[in-house]
């Protein structure tokens, strides 16, 4: 969090009262009108620190000059800022899960994937799942879980998947990053991650010369959203993919594996994009990811800093059908409503509204 401010405790009641006075029937209406999240508005009205610019805007909407109502005691809100950061991220809906502590479930797929890369020769795999199913989160988790200190993980969270995790090199290629559309940029990115010299002109031939047969450490290249690479990047043609196949099959000494994420099987993907490269035949294992099991969803729900009543847990399981993204949204709504001391079922209406656009997960399931 950058510079942050909170409403001084002695101003809280008058700021809360200003909501209705200024024609906002609820926090949600104010949040919607101003384009901020309901969680931010709730933090503001409950005296928790929020970003400086949001603070100024909210103050003005409620008819105050921000300096009139802000708590000026910097030290006081530093500690709260840490807490609100944690509370804010209790549930993450939208961005991929980056910190392993916030990742739940998928133990079966993780066991299979780590099995493929913990022995020599390393083997390739594909992670298949529809939009918003958790593909990026899973790739990021693979990359980080074995090297995250135990004290940063949840109690009992397994991390000893690899015998020598510090030996491994992980390279993350995000095809949604427009820079990866350039073959030269992508190849340079791989060389850079391997701490190898980048030739002035990073053509496929030069790349292959540099990597040669130098791969002495186990290396895993995670390719996220490879479908985007095939659809949008004409530079990544059949000869590009063939070189990668040749590298892993003949020159890497069994020390290289690719793990792709894609919405359909690599072979179907190649076929639908008019590609014939045998690169897409080397994925001997596919991890399908979809809805959580009920136990996985319950574990995520129970990570709430304030426990939810069992009927609410049942409602969340039922409405989300255990899709992680939808579970996260509904949990976030429930948590905010509890923190605000709301008593009715307004959070359910809000939650259903929020998941409406993501219903395709449910419809197709």
Q: Does 324 bind ligand ATP (CB under 6 A)?
A: yes
Burial of 298 by CB count in 10 Å (0-12 exposed, 13-18 middle, 19+ buried)? middle
Piece of 38-46, 57-65, 136-144, 307-315 that binds Mg ion (CB under 5 A):
136-144
Contacts of 134 (CB under 8 A, 6+ apart): 97, 106, 289, 324, 325
For ligand ATP, the closer of residues 15 and 316 by Cβ is 316
Provide the minimum distance between the beta carbon of 227 and ligand ATP in the complex, in angstroms, as a whole number: 10
For ligand ATP, the closer of residues 21 and 112 by Cβ is 112
Between 202 and 241, how does the x/- string for binding to Mg ion read (CB under 5 A)?
A: ----------------------------------------
For ligand ATP, the closer of residues 207 and 258 by Cβ is 258
Provide the minimum distance between the beta carbon of 308 and Mg ion in the complex, in angstroms, as a whole number: 28
Provide the minimum distance between the beta carbon of 102 and ligand ATP in the complex, in angstroms, as a whole number: 6
Residue 95 interacting partner from ligand ATP, Mg ion, none (CB closer than 5 to 8 Å by kind): ligand ATP
For Mg ion, the closer of residues 110 and 127 by Cβ is 127
Q: Which two tokens stand for residue 123?
A: 């083997």
For ligand ATP, the closer of residues 93 and 180 by Cβ is 93
Interface positions, 84-143, toward ligand ATP (CB under 6 A): 92-97, 103-106, 129, 131-137
Q: Does 136 bind Mg ion (CB under 5 A)?
A: yes
Residue 278 interacting partner from ligand ATP, Mg ion, none (CB closer than 5 to 8 Å by kind): none
Provide the minimum distance between the beta carbon of 92 and ligand ATP in the complex, in angstroms, as a whole number: 5
How many whole angstroms separate alpha carbon 185 and alpha carbon 183?
5
Indicate the pairing of strand 219-224 with strand 256-262: parallel
Q: Does 173 bind ligand ATP (CB under 6 A)?
A: no
3-state secondary structure of 259: strand
Indicate the pairing of strand 50-51 with strand 219-224: unpaired
Q: Count of residues for the chain?
A: 365
Provide the minimum distance between the beta carbon of 224 and Mg ion in the complex, in angstroms, as a whole number: 6
Q: Which two tokens stand for residue 341?
A: 């001391």
Q: Does 301 bind ligand ATP (CB under 6 A)?
A: no
- Tell me the chain's radius of gyration from C-alpha atoms: 24
CB 127 within 8 A of CB 139: yes
CB 283 within 8 A of CB 127: no
CB 300 within 8 A of CB 331: yes
CB 101 within 8 A of CB 152: yes
Residue 47 interacting partner from Mg ion, ligand ATP, none (CB closer than 5 to 8 Å by kind): none
End-to-end CA distance of the chain: 38
Residue 106 interacting partner from Mg ion, ligand ATP, none (CB closer than 5 to 8 Å by kind): ligand ATP
Q: What is the sign of the dihedral through the CA atoms of 305, 306, 307 and 312?
A: negative
For Mg ion, the closer of residues 19 and 326 by Cβ is 326
Residue 124 interacting partner from ligand ATP, Mg ion, none (CB closer than 5 to 8 Å by kind): none
For ligand ATP, the closer of residues 20 and 108 by Cβ is 108
Report the C-alpha dihedral over residues 69, 72, 74, 79, rounded to 10 degrees: -40
Q: Angle CA(128)–CA(131)–CA(135) in degrees, nearest 5?
A: 45
- Per CB under 6 A, residues contacting ligand ATP are 92-97, 103-106, 129, 131-137, 300, 324-325, 328
- Per CB under 5 A, residues contacting Mg ion are 136
């Amino acid at each position: 969090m950058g510079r942050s401010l909170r409403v001084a405790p002695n101003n809280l009641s008058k700021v809360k009262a200003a909501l209705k006075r200024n024609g906002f029937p609820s926090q949600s209406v104010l949040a919607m009108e101003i384009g901020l999240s309901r969680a931010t508005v709730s933090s503001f009205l409950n005296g928790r620190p929020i970003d400086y610019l949001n603070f100024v805007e909210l103050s003005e909407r409620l008819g105050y000059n921000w300096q009139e109502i802000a708590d000026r005691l910097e030290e006081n809100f530093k500690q709260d800022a840490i807490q609100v950061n944690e509370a804010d991220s209790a549930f993450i809906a939208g961005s991929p899960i980056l910190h392993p502590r916030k990742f739940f479930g998928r133990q079966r797929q993780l066991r299979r994937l780590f099995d493929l890369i913990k022995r020599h020769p390393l083997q390739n795999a594909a992670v298949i799942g529809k939009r918003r199913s958790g593909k990026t989160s899973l790739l990021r988790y693979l990359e980080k879980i074995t090297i995250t200190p135990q004290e940063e993980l949840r109690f009992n969270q397994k991390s000893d998947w690899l015998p020598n995790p510090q030996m491994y090199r992980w390279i993350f290629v995000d095809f949604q990053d427009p820079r990866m559309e350039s073959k030269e940029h992508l190849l340079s990115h791989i060389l850079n991650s391997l701490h190898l010299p980048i030739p002035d002109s990073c053509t496929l031939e030069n790349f292959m010369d540099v990597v040669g047969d130098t791969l002495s450490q186990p290396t895993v290249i995670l390719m996220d959203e490879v479908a985007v690479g095939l659809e949008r990047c004409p530079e990544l043609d059949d000869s590009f993919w063939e070189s990668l196949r040749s590298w892993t099959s003949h020159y890497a000494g069994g020390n290289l594996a690719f793990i792709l994420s894609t919405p359909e099987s690599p072979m179907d993907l190649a076929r639908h994009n008019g590609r014939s490269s045998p690169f897409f035949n080397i994925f001997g294992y596919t991890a399908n990811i979809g809805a959580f099991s009920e136990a996985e969803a319950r574990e995520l729900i129970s990570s709430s800093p304030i426990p939810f009543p069992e009927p609410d847990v049942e409602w969340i399981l039922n409405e989300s059908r255990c899709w992680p993204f939808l579970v996260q949204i509904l949990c976030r709504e429930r948590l905010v409503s509890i923190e605000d001391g709301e008593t009715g079922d307004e959070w359910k209406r809000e939650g259903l509204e929020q998941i409406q656009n993501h219903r395709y997960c449910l419809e197709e399931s």
